[in-house]
Chains A and B, each alone.
Chain A
Amino acid sequence: MSIKAKAAAIGIGELKPLKEPGDNTALGLMAKVTAEAIADAGLEKKDIDGFLVGVPFADPGFIYPASAAEVLGLHLKMLNQVDIGGASPAGMIWRAAAAIDAGMCNAVLCLVADLNRRGDQRPPTVSVMREFEAPYGNIGANCGYAMIAHRHMFEYSTKPEQMAKVAVDQRTNALKNPLATFNDKPLTISDVLNSRMIVDPLHIFEIVSPVSGGAAVIVASPEVAKRAKHPPVWLLGAGEYCNHSSITYAPSLTESPIKIAADSAFKMAGLKPKDMQLVCPYDCYTITVIVTLEDAGFCKKGQGGPFVAEHDLTYKGDFPCNTHGGQLSFGQPGLAGGMSHVTEMIRQLMGRGGERQVKNASLGYVNGNGGIMSEQVGLVMERRS
């Protein structure tokens, strides 16, 4: 049993993130990207019979999928919310393929949108997090990744300038992405290292900026994919793994659950990391990219620092990585930040990368990451000519 090449991504919708949410609503942004994705796929709304959605912080609620579906006017044979943090969008792609392969539905809308409004209360964390993390100030994601970075520096002598290089190369990519939030001027390593220290050793330019926005992807059966406007991008392999919630209780700070998720994805695809022509790893922080490249098998464990320093991660480089700018330059519109890696992979493999198109890219790896290196999803995708 495998979902290898059983479904394909055929359409995308993605908004340019907004620094200020204005009068938008999360449901309104969802409607906008849904319309865009359906048109992009060359389908009609009535063709959508599956729905996976992420619950926005700006408008959370019980029994969310049916409510959002009603607003959008969708009639569905499969619906659910996916709640695996930043890995939710990548997790939706394989869940959609699995539902299609199981014969439950034919065209699944994978949808995420959110607003970043000052003063909005986030839903409460689970009791054990409130009891054993919050009293010590382990609140939000920054602290956990900073502790991963310090441990990585201790174990492998990873350097701040190596981490900074990730933000610098991704910014070069963002300069060619009209949708990116930060696409007006290049960054240098010293810009990053001289920027404000937020959580030692991570500077502000190594940390995502919250914005408002949304994104949608349509995953379809082979039958529906035949009618698609653009070349279908097939899901060849998927893997998922999670072994902790708080990073304190992870088996290791520097060897993440990505290894098992990525190995599973490559095994299903029958391919190896070196076969990939593009990599889009979830990048909430610079250190996240370094650990992901190691654990997904693109370089040896502990060599992520030297690897990013020695390779050109830009769209024209020898190791194209997050060619949309990553979330670090695209911005993080809630869960749609994690969808940006998926949409970019689809765009590039369809050959719609514009000025930042990676030459001859037909195979790529996406990594979705939730929480503090907690939930991990690996996807291998291919455009078949």
Chain B
Amino acid sequence: MSEYTKPLPKPSPTSRPFWDAAKRHQLMLQRCGACGQFIYYPRDRCPNCFADELKWQRASGLGKVYSYTVVHRASSRHFMEPYILAIVELDEGPKMTTNIVADPRAVHVDMPVAVYFDDVTPDRTLVKFKAA
């Protein structure tokens, strides 16, 4: 098995629950107890109302492609093969930077997608999406 050379997330105390859940193949989001908003990426306070009442909640894992690009030539030597970078708008509201695992010709804006957990290393799982 070839070594994984792409950048890996280094969880912070704030984000560790998100990555730990991803490893269990669960998509967890923070939700603000004061204003009700779902939050991505993890914060210490709600970026909307700034209340200190964030709680973790399991998300549906469903969303739509808000936009995407097929990267034919990346700005990083770690990404040599063409790949699909996307912004997915989750049904719960937040947007996520992610990858779509699909044939590039099949991807389009507004495409319904479902979460796909990519266990890129024994320790780390990235949260990606596939056609729903």
A, B assembled together: yes
Binding site for B on A (CB under 8 A): 127-128, 130-143, 146-148, 150-151, 153-154, 196-202, 246-249, 253
Cα–Cα distance between A128 and B10 once the two chains are bound (Å): 9
Residues of the A chain whose Cβ atoms lie less than 8 Å from the Cβ of B66: 151, 253
A135-B126, A137-B79 known; A143+B10 contact, CB < 8 A: no
Residue of A nearest to B15 (CB): A131
B6 within 8 A of A: yes
B34 within 8 A of A: no
- Could you write out 22 A-B pairs with CB less than 8 Å apart? A127-B10, A128-B41, A131-B15, A131-B41, A137-B79, A137-B83, A137-B99, A138-B85, A139-B76, A141-B75, A147-B68, A150-B67, A150-B68, A151-B67, A151-B109, A154-B67, A154-B109, A199-B72, A200-B70, A201-B69, A248-B96, A253-B87
Set B9, B69, B75: member contacting A135, Cβ < 8 A: B9
Set A131, A150, A246: member contacting B69, Cβ < 8 A: A150
Residues of the B chain whose Cβ atoms lie less than 8 Å from the Cβ of A136: 85, 97-99, 126, 128
Residues of the B chain whose Cβ atoms lie less than 8 Å from the Cβ of A247: 87
Cβ–Cβ contact A148 & B67, under 8 A: yes
Residue of B nearest to A140 (CB): B75
Residues of the B chain whose Cβ atoms lie less than 8 Å from the Cβ of A133: 97
Cβ–Cβ contact A199 & B68, under 8 A: no
Cβ–Cβ contact B95 & A248, under 8 A: yes
A130-B7, A134-B7, A199-B70 given; name 13 further pairs at CB < 8 Å: A131-B15, A135-B7, A136-B97, A137-B99, A143-B69, A143-B71, A146-B69, A147-B69, A148-B67, A151-B66, A154-B109, A197-B72, A248-B95
Cα–Cα distance between A197 and B96 once the two chains are bound (Å): 25
B2 within 8 A of A: no
Cα–Cα distance between A142 and B71 once the two chains are bound (Å): 9
Shortest C-beta distance, A59 to chain B (Å), equals 21
A131-B15, A247-B87, A253-B66 known; A200+B7 contact, CB < 8 A: no
B55 within 8 A of A: no
Residues of the A chain whose Cβ atoms lie less than 8 Å from the Cβ of B74: 137, 139-140
B11 within 8 A of A: yes
Cα–Cα distance between A137 and B80 once the two chains are bound (Å): 10
Residues of the B chain whose Cβ atoms lie less than 8 Å from the Cβ of A151: 66-67, 109
Binding site for A on B (CB under 8 A): 6-12, 15, 41, 66-76, 79, 83, 85-87, 95-99, 104, 109-110, 126, 128
Q: Which 3 A-B pairs have the closest CB atoms?
A: A140-B75, A146-B69, A151-B67
Shortest C-beta distance, A239 to chain B (Å), equals 24
A147-B85, A147-B87 known; A137+B76 contact, CB < 8 A: yes
Shortest C-beta distance, B63 to chain A (Å), equals 13
Cβ–Cβ contact A131 & B12, under 8 A: yes
Cα–Cα distance between A232 and B14 once the two chains are bound (Å): 52
A133-B97, A253-B67 known; A142+B75 contact, CB < 8 A: yes
Residues of the A chain whose Cβ atoms lie less than 8 Å from the Cβ of B41: 128, 131-132
Residues of the A chain whose Cβ atoms lie less than 8 Å from the Cβ of B87: 147, 247-248, 253
Residues of the B chain whose Cβ atoms lie less than 8 Å from the Cβ of A143: 69, 71, 75, 85
Set A127, A146, A197: member contacting B12, Cβ < 8 A: A127
Residue of A nearest to B95 (CB): A248
Shortest C-beta distance, B88 to chain A (Å), equals 9
Residues of the B chain whose Cβ atoms lie less than 8 Å from the Cβ of A198: 72-73
Shortest C-beta distance, B118 to chain A (Å), equals 10
Cα–Cα distance between A234 and B49 once the two chains are bound (Å): 40
Cα–Cα distance between A212 and B109 once the two chains are bound (Å): 37
Shortest C-beta distance, A121 to chain B (Å), equals 12
Residues of the B chain whose Cβ atoms lie less than 8 Å from the Cβ of A127: 10, 12
Cβ–Cβ contact B7 & A132, under 8 A: no
Cα–Cα distance between A134 and B128 once the two chains are bound (Å): 13
Residues of the B chain whose Cβ atoms lie less than 8 Å from the Cβ of A248: 87, 95-97
Cα–Cα distance between A153 and B97 once the two chains are bound (Å): 20
Cα–Cα distance between A184 and B108 once the two chains are bound (Å): 38
Cα–Cα distance between A146 and B85 once the two chains are bound (Å): 10
Set B6, B76, B97, B98: member contacting A140, Cβ < 8 A: B76
Residues of the A chain whose Cβ atoms lie less than 8 Å from the Cβ of B6: 135, 137
Residue of A nearest to B96 (CB): A248
Residues of the A chain whose Cβ atoms lie less than 8 Å from the Cβ of B76: 134, 137, 139-140
Shortest C-beta distance, A50 to chain B (Å), equals 35
